[in-house]
Amino acid sequence: MSGPTVFGLCAAVAVGLGLYGLITNPHPLRKIIAFNLLGSGVFLLFGVLGRRGAAASVGNDPVPQALVITGVVVAFSATALAIALLLRLFQKTGSTTLSSGAPPNVSSDPSGG
């Protein structure tokens, strides 16, 4: 078993872990962490595929590396936006639940629009 394969399997498991956490963790912050785990698995997969494509005295195909760097920036901004939303929600309601519980047309307040 070669290095890329080990890390490829590691990436696949990280994706599975992230998905599981995203589904079952009720706390939104935990969902955000799980999303980051999932994302890091996807990025790792890019790295493994790039490592398989090592050629011309470059140890890792530079194109997937560039894609990952772009992707990491996007994932970080997504995390920041999600956390800002979450903190504002907590500030307003004192709760961080995401489940709507009741259907929206019952829970709507009179000022809703």
Partner 1 sequence: MNIATIFEIVLAAVVLGLGIWTIAVRETYSATVGFVAYGLLVALIWVRLDAVDVALTEAAIGGGLGGVLLLGAAARLRDGERTVAETPGMVTRVSAVALSALTTAALAGAIVFLPDPAPTLAPTVVGHAWATSLANPVTNVLMAFRAMDTMLEKVVLLLSIIGVWSLAPDNAWGGHPGPRHRADPDGILVFLARLLPPIGIVVGIYIFWTGANHPGGAFQGGAILASMWVLAIMAGLTDTPPVARRWLRFVLVAGPGLFLLVGLGGLWFGTAFLAYPPALAKPLILGIEVAMILTIAATLGLLLAGAPERSVK
Partner 2 sequence: MQPPAPALDAMTTTAGFLLVLSIVIPVAGVLLAFIAGDRYVRLIACAIIPFGLAIAVAILVALPASNGPLVYLLGAWPPPLGIALRADALSAVMLVVTAVVISSVAAFAATDFSPAATETRAPFAFWILLLAIWGALNTIFLGRDLFTLYVALELLTFAAVPLVSLEGRSETLQAALRYLLFALLGSVLYLLGTALLYGRYGTLDIVLLSHRIGTEPAVLVAAALMTTGLLAKTALFPLHLWLPPAHAGAPAAASAILSGLVVKGSFFIIVRLWFNVMPGLPGFAATQLLAALGGAAIVVGSVVALRQERLKLLIAYSTLAQIGYLFLMFPLALGGTGQLESGGALAGGLLQAVSHASAKAAMFMSAGLIYARLGQDRIMALGGVGRVLPISVLAFALSGVALMGLPPGGAYLAKEILLQAAAEKGQWWWAVVLQAGGIFTGAYVVLVLAHALAPANEPITPDSPAPRIQELSALALALCSLSLGLVPWEAYLSIPHGVAPDKLGPEALSKALLPILGGAVVAILLGRWECPPGRLSRWKALMVIVGQVRRAGLTLGAIVEGCDNVLRQWPAACISLLMLAALFGASMLLSF
**In terms of residues, how long is the chain?**
113
Half-sphere exposure of 74 (CA within 13 A, CB side): 9
Among positions 7, 10, 17, 53, the unique one binding partner 2 when judged by CB under 8 A: 53
Can you tell me which residue has the tokens 């519980």?
Answer: 101
Residue 40 in the binding site for partner 1 (CB under 8 A): yes
Residue 27 in the binding site for partner 1 (CB under 8 A): yes
Residue 69 in the binding site for partner 1 (CB under 8 A): yes
Q: What are the backbone angles phi and psi of residue 60, rounded to the nearest 5°?
A: -155, 125
DSSP tag of 58: B
Q: Where are the beta strands (DSSP E) in the chain?
A: none
- Residue type for position 19: L
Closest to partner 2 by CB, 58 vs 81, is 81
Residue 107 in the binding site for partner 1 (CB under 8 A): no
- Which residues of the shown chain bind partner 2 in the complex (CB under 8 A)? 15, 19, 22-24, 28, 31-32, 35, 38-39, 42, 45-46, 48-49, 52-53, 55, 63-64, 67, 70-71, 74, 77-78, 81-82, 85-86, 88-89, 92-93, 98-100, 103-105, 107-113
